[in-house]
Structure 1
Amino acid sequence: MLNNPRSIIAIVPAAGVGSRMGADKPKQYLMLGQQSILAHTLDALLAHSEIDLVVVALHPEDKYFSKLPQSQHPKLTQVIGGEERADSVLAALDYAQTLNPNAWALVHDAARPCVSHEDITQLIESVHIHPQGAILAAPVRDTMKRSDASGHIVSTVDRALLWHALTPQFFPVSSLRSHLSAALAAHVSITDEASAMEWAGVMPGLVQGRMDNIKVTHPDDLQLAALFMSQK
């Protein structure tokens, strides 16, 4: 199946995903119900019928991943990631390129366990509208304020065209690999895959996703993620 030009390779950068949230292990391995955050995330990707392979980019000293049942899944493989998210994504893209340079990469945060199959499918199908690639995003709902360096409000920002960037983000393997590599070589600050494409002059599409596709960043997020997952 990986020889198909429409092959889809999901990439999960899990080498460095932020703080440990006061725990003794990386946050993606914290428990969310009966299994870890990362395990839930991988379950969602592995169970999607249109995803052919899941590539997890791990820290070289990771001692937790091999204990997950998902690590033995026949549709999953692992590579060694880098210090930053972009480095880990690039390592996975290098691997994906050797399998099928015509495949598409579906890059998803390790700490977004609540992603729905409906959103993933919607993003994949958006290729007919956005052949250059697209990302899941949610429109900004709150009033946005711009401040000065002292923390005073300078102005109210029009939120009409503002979006929260989510994941997955969906791009051709070859173009994302090329633009991400060039951006890193130019020492450009890359916050997500779309920013590398934007730097190269590509305008990714926006596909509206669910607001419950949260990223677990703070301890309170664990309770919220558990609530969302219990309702699915």
Structure 2
Amino acid sequence: MPKQYRIVAGRDLLHYTLAAFDACNEFAQTLVVISADDNHFDARRFGGLRFAVRRCGGASRQASVYNGLAALAEFGARDDDWVLVHDAARPGITPALIRTLVEALKDDPVGGIMALPVADTLKRVAPRDDAAPGTRIARTEARDGLWQAQTPQMFRIGMLRTAIERAQQDGHDLTDEASAIEWLGHKPRLVQGSLRNFKVTYPEDFALAEAILRQPAE
């Protein structure tokens, strides 16, 4: 089962994201982008929350976001409107975090993302060597000035669409929206995020998400 539909703390993982955005009445619409062959999504499991669904997901995150931007036009979205892109695998997002991002960026000429300064020591892995089996360290990387990207990522619809188109034309499949904006030569702003807003990636992350989501959000 896709992780966004796993039950965590009594709810589908996706529910927590939808509930956080639903609590922010500043937004005209929340759009859930899923693949055409998604047989797990059931709107009845998210009753009472404001959102729309479009089965326009692509083969990559970049493609799904691009298709979602086009779908927003159905709801009257214009190129100069802001859009926030969020990963459903980050259920720890809260209305307070969303509003912090919006308040910080609403007058910014570019936009930006939630992120956290890197706290861990970073190691660069050496190429595989049959004479020295196992993963080996090539060197330690300086962590000064490094931040870990989170979502939401907030940009103008027109700028983000153009950025993704440019990246696609140049043959690059970028892993987040900020990378596409950077591809245009812009410098997105970083807004302090939260450890709560981590991405559920590994099997053991579900237990951590369960513990976090059972605690009231600040």
Query: One fold, TM greater than 0.5?
Result: yes
Alignment of 1:78 onto 2:53:
yes
Deviation at 1:67, TM superposition (A): 4.1
1:144, 1:157 within 8 Å by CA — same for their partners in 2?
yes
Determine the C-alpha separation between the residues in 1 that align with 2:193 and 2:36.
33
Deviation at 1:213, TM superposition (A): 0.6
Q: Which has the larger radius of gyration?
A: 2
Correspondence 1:58-207 to 2 at 5 A: 58-70=34-46, 73=49, 75-79=50-54, 80-98=56-74, 99-101=76-78, 102-127=80-105, 130-150=108-128, 151-207=135-191
Moved over 4 A (4+): none
What SS does the aligned partner of 2:26 have?
coil
Determine the C-alpha separation between the residues in 2 that align with 1:129 and 1:62.
37
Unaligned runs of 5+ in 2: 129-134
Deviation at 1:135, TM superposition (A): 0.3
Determine the C-alpha separation between the residues in 2 that align with 1:57 and 1:81.
6
1:96, 1:173 within 8 Å by CA — same for their partners in 2?
no
Q: What is the one-letter code of the residue matched to 1:194? A: A
Alignment root-mean-square deviation, CA: 1.7
What SS does the aligned partner of 1:194 have?
helix
Q: What is the one-letter code of the residue matched to 1:113? A: P
Determine the C-alpha separation between the residues in 1 that align with 2:30 and 2:17.
11
Matching residue of 1:13: none
Picking from 31, 35, 39, the partner of 2:7 is 31
Matching residue of 2:131: none
Deviation at 1:58, TM superposition (A): 1.0
Determine the C-alpha separation between the residues in 1 that align with 2:119 and 2:44.
37
Unaligned runs of 5+ in 1: 1-24
Deviation at 1:70, TM superposition (A): 2.5
Matching residue of 1:12: none
TM-score (norm 1): 0.83
Determine the C-alpha separation between the residues in 2 that align with 1:177 and 1:71.
31
Deviation by residue 1:7-66 (Cα, 9 ceiling, x = unmatched): xxxxxxxxxxxxxxxxxx211111112111011221111112322210111111222223
1:39, 1:68 within 8 Å by CA — same for their partners in 2?
no
TM-score (norm 2): 0.88
Deviation at 1:129, TM superposition (A): 6.3
Q: What is the one-letter code of the residue matched to 2:37? A: E
2:90, 2:199 within 8 Å by CA — same for their partners in 1?
yes
Q: What is the one-letter code of the residue matched to 1:188? A: H
Determine the C-alpha separation between the residues in 1 that align with 2:34 and 2:67.
10
Determine the C-alpha separation between the residues in 2 that align with 1:58 and 1:68.
16
Determine the C-alpha separation between the residues in 1 that align with 2:113 and 2:15.
23
